């Protein structure tokens, strides 16, 4: 059930962001052509429904929500160490490259050398 909670949070937060971006573009750049033009009330109703479905699990199943958010947020240190840290020591780079190559060989992503 935790994975369903994570998927719901991700999808509905994505829909909220898309709708907010659409409303922002509609206000800031009304002159651009759009393939689909809807009355303003439709995206606003959709925004409220998605926000409701995003907030509902906080009150309905807070334990599952916190577990799911903990799993999602546990990726932040991995991202900070693996991606944003630019001045990594050479030992770290060598071990990481070795681990990457071994995983690729194990999963048959590349031919063994």
pLDDT in tens, 29-61: 988 888 888 899 999 999 999 888 888 878 888
How far is C-alpha 103 from the chain's CA centre?
A: 25
The pTM assigned to this predicted structure is 0.58
The Cα 67–Cα 46 span in angstroms is 27
Average pLDDT over residues 79-98: 87
The alpha helices in the chain, defined as continuous H runs, are 2-28, 41-60, 62-73, 75-79, 90-106
């Amino acid at each position: 059930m935790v994975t369903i909670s994570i998927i719901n949070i991700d999808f509905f937060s994505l829909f909220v962001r898309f709708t907010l971006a659409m409303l922002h573009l509609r206000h800031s750049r009304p002159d651009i052509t759009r393939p689909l033009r809807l009355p303003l009330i439709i995206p606003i109703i959709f925004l409220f429904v998605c926000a409701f479905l995003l907030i509902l699990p906080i009150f309905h199943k807070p334990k599952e929500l916190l577990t799911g958010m903990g799993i999602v947020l546990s990726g932040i240190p991995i991202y900070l160490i693996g991606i944003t840290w630019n001045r990594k020591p050479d030992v770290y780079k060598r071990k990481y490259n070795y681990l990457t190559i071994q995983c690729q060989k194990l999963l048959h992503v590349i031919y063994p050398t």
